[in-house]
Amino acid sequence: MDDMLQAFQNIPTTSASDASNGLNNLDPSIKPLKETYQMAGRAFTVKLPAGDNLAVLKAIKEAQPGDILVVDAQGEQYRAIAGDFVAGMMQTMGLGGLVVDGVIRDISDIKALDFPVFCKGTTVASSGKTGVGDVNETIACGGVSVQPGDLIIGDADGVVVVPQSTEQDVLDKATEKIAKDNDRDEKVSGKPEEIHAYIDRMLK
């Protein structure tokens, strides 16, 4: 794992969002299946035709361990781009997680895997496996442009993209924001008078 990726393992999505002015957060309809998921990795991108997941299989074969598959499924919500079988293959190949602006199925079994999956929801039907689709190209997912190799972080609050050219800047600003927030919290926590003083300062 490269140093930058290592550093982002401890950055919450909320802090990365604050550090990026909220510009690279995936649409909040893309949610973790379990609140306990916490992931940071580099994007391996996939673009699917609606209702066909063959390119996901191609991506599982080509992606590197630790990579997060970010799938543009065009928001399709009737057909699953993965179930527990496909997610299990991702986990076995050492991938870091799955993010899709679409849906999955076999929800109970995927939760049991403890492989981080972020999606719009769940469905019953499977996808076809006939189409082509693209891998490793710039895509749009959840309203955000994602390039292969961009840093992707996900946790209980959602998913944030950190474009490669902004990594150091976002890391510095997020680290600063975390320290500032902790300080602010420490000053007022459990102290009604400090809460009043803080609000008065903000209202000025």
Ligand X SMILES: O=C([O-])CC(=O)C(=O)O
Residues that bind Mg ion (CB under 5 A): 83, 85, 106
53 binds, among Mg ion, ligand X, none (CB under 5 to 8 A by kind): ligand X
For β-strands 97-100 and 68-72, DSSP reports them as: parallel
Q: Which is nearer to ligand X, 53 or 91 (CB)?
A: 53
CB 155 within 8 A of CB 13: yes
Among the listed residues 24, 90, 127, 133, the single contact to ligand X using CB under 6 A: 127
Quote the least distance from Cβ 44 to ligand X, whole Å: 18
78 lines the binding site for ligand X (CB under 6 A) = no
Q: Which is nearer to ligand X, 80 or 160 (CB)?
A: 80
Quote the least distance from Cβ 108 to Mg ion, whole Å: 11
Quote the least distance from Cβ 83 to Mg ion, whole Å: 3
80 binds, among ligand X, Mg ion, none (CB under 5 to 8 A by kind): ligand X
What gap in Å lies between CA 76 and CA 95, rounded to an integer? 23
What gap in Å lies between CA 161 and CA 150, rounded to an integer? 7
Interactions with ligand X, residue window 92-121 (CB under 6 A): 105-106
Residue 174: exposure state from Cβ atoms within 10 A (0-12, 13-18, ≥19): buried
What are the residues facing 43 on neighbouring strands? 68
Q: Per-residue string for binding with ligand X, 49-68, x by CB under 6 A? A: ----x---------------
72 binds, among Mg ion, ligand X, none (CB under 5 to 8 A by kind): none
What gap in Å lies between CA 130 and CA 108, rounded to an integer? 27
What gap in Å lies between CA 137 and CA 43, rounded to an integer? 10
What gap in Å lies between CA 102 and CA 120, rounded to an integer? 5
Quote the least distance from Cβ 106 to Mg ion, whole Å: 5
Q: Which is nearer to ligand X, 67 or 106 (CB)?
A: 106
CB 126 within 8 A of CB 83: yes
Quote the least distance from Cβ 128 to ligand X, whole Å: 9
What gap in Å lies between CA 65 and CA 179, rounded to an integer? 32
**Residues interacting with ligand X, by CB under 6 A?**
53, 80, 82-86, 105-106, 126-127
